[in-house]
C-alpha cells in the first residue's frame, strides 16, 4: 500500500478542539506582526508621515507642479481642467452662490477672487490631500508668493475652518494667520 504523504503518527488529541487550537496558535503568530505594522502605519499617517515606496509619483501628497490655472472664487482654482479647493479655508462666495440656509464666509467675493489671482505668480506647487463631496481635489497650493491658503488668511480674504483642515496642515504652515482670521 502506498501513501501520497509520508505516514505521521497521530496524537491522541487529534480532533476538532486540537486542530482549532493549532489554527489559533498559527493565526496568533501571523496576526501579531500584521497588527503591529497596521498600527504603525496608522500612527504614521496621523502625524503626517508617508511610507517611502521608492516611486515618488505614487506617494500620497507628493508635491507636484500645475500650470494653466485660473481662479474660480476665493478658495477654488482650476488647473488644466482639474478643480482644486484650497485646504482649511472658506472664502466669501460670489453673489448668488451662497445657498439659503448655508453659513457663508463674510466679505466681498470679488475682492477675495482678485486676491487669490494676485497670489498665483510663478511656479504653482500642489500637495494633494483628498477630494471633497463636490469632486474637487483638496490640496495645499503654493506659489512664488508662498502658501495660497495662508495668503488668503493673511490678507483677510478668507476665514480658517479647522474642520476642513486635514491634519491641521494649514494651522502648522501659518499659525499666526490662522489666529488672526478667527
* CATH number of the domain enclosing 147: 2.40.50.90
Are the C-beta atoms of residues 67 and 124 closer than 8 Å to each other? Answer: yes
45 and 81, same domain (yes or no): no
Banded model confidence at residue 61, pLDDT cuts 50, 70, 90: very low
For 155-182, b where at least 16 C-beta lie within 10 A, e where not — what string? Answer: eebbbbeeebbeeebbbebbeebbeebe
In a domain, 5, yes or no: no
Total of domains in the chain: 2
pLDDT range class, residue 144, cuts 50, 70, 90? very high
**What distance in Å separates the CA atoms of residue 109 and residue 113, rounded to the nearest whole number?**
6
| pTM exceeds cut of 0.85 | no
Q: Which domain holds residue 21?
A: 11-49
Tell me which of 157 and 46 has the higher pLDDT. Answer: 157
* Helix, strand, coil percent values for the chain (each to nearest 5): 40, 20, 40
Average pLDDT, the chain: 79
Q: Looking at the structure, do residues 33 and 96 belong to the same domain, yes or no?
A: no
Shared domain for 62 and 45, answered yes or no, is no
Amino acid at each position: 500500500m502506498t501513501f501520497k504523504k509520508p505516514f505521521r503518527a497521530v496524537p491522541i488529541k487529534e480532533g476538532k478542539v486540537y486542530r482549532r487550537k493549532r489554527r489559533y496558535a498559527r493565526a496568533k503568530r501571523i496576526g501579531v506582526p500584521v497588527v503591529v505594522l497596521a498600527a504603525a502605519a496608522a500612527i504614521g499617517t496621523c502625524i503626517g508621515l508617508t511610507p517611502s515606496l521608492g516611486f515618488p509619483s505614487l506617494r500620497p501628497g507628493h508635491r507636484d507642479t500645475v500650470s494653466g490655472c485660473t481662479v474660480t472664487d476665493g478658495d477654488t482654482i482650476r488647473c488644466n481642467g482639474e478643480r482644486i479647493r484650497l485646504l482649511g479655508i472658506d472664502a466669501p462666495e460670489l453673489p448668488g452662490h451662497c445657498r439659503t440656509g448655508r453659513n457663508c464666509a463674510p466679505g466681498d467675493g470679488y475682492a477675495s477672487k482678485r486676491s487669490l489671482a494676485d497670489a498665483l505668480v510663478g511656479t504653482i506647487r500642489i500637495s494633494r490631500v483628498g477630494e471633497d463631496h463636490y469632486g474637487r481635489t483638496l490640496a495645499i497650493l503654493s506659489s512664488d508668493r508662498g502658501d495660497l491658503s495662508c495668503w488668503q488668511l493673511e490678507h483677510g480674504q478668507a476665514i480658517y475652518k479647522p474642520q476642513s483642515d486635514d491634519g491641521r496642515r494649514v494651522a502648522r504652515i501659518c499659525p499666526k494667520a490662522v489666529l488672526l482670521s478667527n
